[in-house]
Amino acid sequence: MERVPVESRWVNERWQVSAAVPEPAGTAAGAERVSDEAGREWWFWHGFELELHRSEGEGYWLNVTSPEPRVFVRWRQDEDRAVPQYVTVSYNEAARWLDGGEQVDGVPMAAPIHAWLVPWVAENYRPEPRRKVRRNDPFKDGAFRRDRE
């Protein structure tokens, strides 16, 4: 998470997700604070896991087949900092969070995450075949036909 100073009379700062990078499995949860001279501040949050669920297959497929695959982070504002709550790679799950009024940022997907996700999607998800849609035909069976004699 990154805190960016803002020159505005209404707010002093803006929080945003700056990256989502893979860590070794079993990394302990926690946070580290780093800041620089320009007033920027970063919080490195550790211990989040990406869990894949078959029910989210379409959302993963939409993500990996998009021109710019992303990792989505749901976060909330704490008293003095932004705290990530959950991480996903499903477009559909991120959309549901946004529809529910949550704060969600998407960042470019790191190559190792993409390399891990693509085989899972190939093995576990098949897009539904497209079907022709039959619309109601008001003129079928002469329902609206007027006999003119």
Q: Which pLDDT score, from 0 to 100, does residue 96 have?
A: 96
User: Residue 107: phi, psi to the nearest 5?
Assistant: -125, 155
Closest CA to 91 of 117, 66, 65, 63: 63
Which pLDDT tens digits describe the chain residue by residue (149 residues)? 998 888 889 988 888 899 998 887 777 888 888 887 777 788 888 888 889 999 999 999 999 999 999 999 999 998 888 899 999 999 999 999 999 999 999 999 999 999 999 999 999 998 888 877 777 766 666 655 555 55
Q: Which pLDDT score, from 0 to 100, does residue 141 have?
A: 64
Domain ranges of the chain: 2-127
Cβ atoms of 15 and 2 within 8 Å: the answer is yes
Cβ atoms of 20 and 49 within 8 Å: the answer is no
First CA to last CA across the chain, in angstroms? Answer: 78
Q: Which pLDDT score, from 0 to 100, does residue 124 have?
A: 93
Alpha-carbon distance 45 to 38, whole Å? 22
Measured CA distances, 32 to 28, 29, 35, 91, 139 (Å): 12, 10, 10, 28, 69
Q: Which pLDDT score, from 0 to 100, does residue 71 have?
A: 96
Q: What is the pTM for the complete model shown? A: 0.80
Alpha-carbon distance 106 to 95, whole Å? 11
